[in-house]
Amino acid sequence: MQENIGNRSTFTSLKWFNFFVYGTMVLFTSFFQLYLQDVGMNKLEIGVLMSIGPFVSIFANPFWGIWTGRYHNIRVIVLLMLTGTLLFSQFIFQANTYETIYTAIILFYFCQTPLFAQSNTLVLSYIYGSEHRFGSFRLWGSLGWALTAIAAGPIVQYGGVSVLSYLFAVLLGLSMVSLATLPKLRHSIGIAPMPFRGFRVLFMNPYFLFFIFFGILVSIPNTVNNTFMSLYINDMGGSKTMVGLAVFLSSIVEVGVFMLCDRYLRRKISVLIGWLALVSLLFALRWWLMAQSTTPLEVALIQILHSVTFGGFFYVGTELTMLLIPRPYRSSGQALYTLSWSGISGMLGGVLGGWLFQYLGAQSMYEFCVFLALIGAFGYGGMWLFVKWEDYRPHAVTEDTHEEDGV
């Protein structure tokens, strides 16, 4: 361990860094759509603009990962990313033409989309060799996300959506100060941003491909909701405070769901696929409730299901990837799984949801989400039956565990 790395002030700074970074991002994901609507964009234009982020992330993640691996100074790399995010965010808020805002948002996403992955690597690098667990630092990120959302709602309500640029700058500035107080780090745990070498093996695994395909169907509606929920509440006459409450309710118990899954969920392929089918049905129920909602408060309360649906699905999917893919190719499997959720689904969900919302209305948009989630649920149900009947056991999935991870 390095000198001065393991002191209490270092870990305190890491917690506040996570708090402010996640708090900054919730402003963009939950309130920025309201700003775009306020400056004259329709639902389809907003969806297209927001879908740029997942596309840019495909190139941005490897770019920043390569520089991190080359210079072994992740603190400086993350500081550069935060600086770029702050600079280009202000360009976005000052843009007065479509060309300017599209250019600014591409540059913004290039710095912002890899922030979560690089921040996680930063935290893991600082706590490496200590008794601290990553979950305690991730908890501060969740708190920053939830508390910033509920605090920002009334501020945006009374100050107007233009105040977002100031809130964004303040929180980014605080995250940069927290990062600057950290001692110099001369080692890093390393990061594999996009390990393409294992992709050929993954595409020869039909179980994994079906898992990814049905996962995309289930995750597209989740992207639709993340992008347009605030506009849905606004169209119902709800306030910015109600938007903040909805985001708060969607995230406040997320960590608890992860902890329960970690403690009680069996790492067994048939069990995990069965859970994916069940969670997909819960997704369908959630979207049906959204389609039937008539008041902003109903929409906000339904978001409590987010922690169970998204939290449960992403956790189970991560564990299932570890079991379906042989050990040498697991990093490739996790990369493709994450890409399917944040990349492919993000692009499709933004454009498709924007078109449905603009031309058919919010109720039809959420009814289509029910349809996609049900296809995913029945697909996973079929996979569960097939795995049970065929007694499926992938090769080399138990070599580094102490328990049997088969069916």
Name the residue ranges covered by the structural domains of the chain. 1-191, 195-392
Mean pLDDT score, 375-400: 75
> Which tokens is 79 given?
């500081």
Q: Are 357 and 43 in contact (CB under 8 A)?
A: yes
Mean pLDDT score, 121-135: 74
Predicted local distance difference test score (pLDDT) of residue 215: 92
Band the pLDDT of 376: cuts 50, 70, 90: very high
Predicted local distance difference test score (pLDDT) of residue 134: 67
241-280 exposure pattern, b = at least 16 Cβ within 10 A, e = fewer:
bbbbbbbbbbbbbbbebbeebeeeeebbbbbbbbbbbbbb
Of the candidates 342, 372, 350, which has an alpha carbon nearest to the alpha carbon of residue 43?
Answer: 350
342 three-state secondary structure: helix
Q: Is the pLDDT of residue 138 over 80?
A: no
Mean pLDDT score, 387-402: 57
Could you tell me the sign of the dihedral formed by the alpha carbons of 66, 71, 77, 80, in that order? Answer: negative
Count the Cβ atoms, other than its own, within 10 Å of residue 340: 18
Q: Is 383 exposed, middle or buried (0-12, 13-18, 19+ CB in 10 A)?
A: buried
The answer to whether domain 1-191 and domain 195-392 are alike in fold is: yes
Q: Is the pLDDT of residue 3 over 70?
A: no
Which residues, in sequence order, are CB contacts of 222 under 8 Å at separation 6+? 283, 309, 310, 345, 349
Predicted local distance difference test score (pLDDT) of residue 196: 53
Tell me which of 372 and 190 has the higher pLDDT.
Answer: 372
- The DSSP output letter for 198 is G
Band the pLDDT of 156: cuts 50, 70, 90: very high
Q: Is the pLDDT of residue 218 over 50?
A: yes
Angle 340-168-41 from CA coordinates, rounded to 5°: 65
Q: Are 391 and 298 in contact (CB under 8 A)?
A: no
pTM of the model: 0.85
Tell me which of 120 and 353 has the higher pLDDT.
Answer: 353
Which residues, in sequence order, are CB contacts of 276 under 8 Å at separation 6+? 211, 214, 215, 313, 316, 317, 320, 380
Tell me which of 201 and 187 has the higher pLDDT.
Answer: 201
Q: Is the pLDDT of residue 406 over 60?
A: no
Q: Could you report the per-residue pLDDT of 274-319, keeping only the tens digit for each?
A: 999 999 999 999 999 999 999 999 999 999 999 889 878 877 887 8
Band the pLDDT of 19: cuts 50, 70, 90: very high
Predicted local distance difference test score (pLDDT) of residue 34: 93
Going through 18-144 in order, the beta strands assigned E by DSSP cover none
CATH topology of domain 195-392: Growth Hormone; Chain: A; (1.20.1250)
Predicted local distance difference test score (pLDDT) of residue 400: 42
Distances (CA, A) of 327 to 111, 201, 264, 396: 31, 12, 24, 7
Mean pLDDT score, 62-84: 83
CATH H superfamily, domain 1-191: MFS general substrate transporter like domains (1.20.1250.20)
Predicted local distance difference test score (pLDDT) of residue 197: 56
Least reliable range by pLDDT among 145-159, 181-195, 315-329: 181-195
- The DSSP output letter for 252 is T
Average pLDDT over the chain reads 84
Band the pLDDT of 401: cuts 50, 70, 90: very low
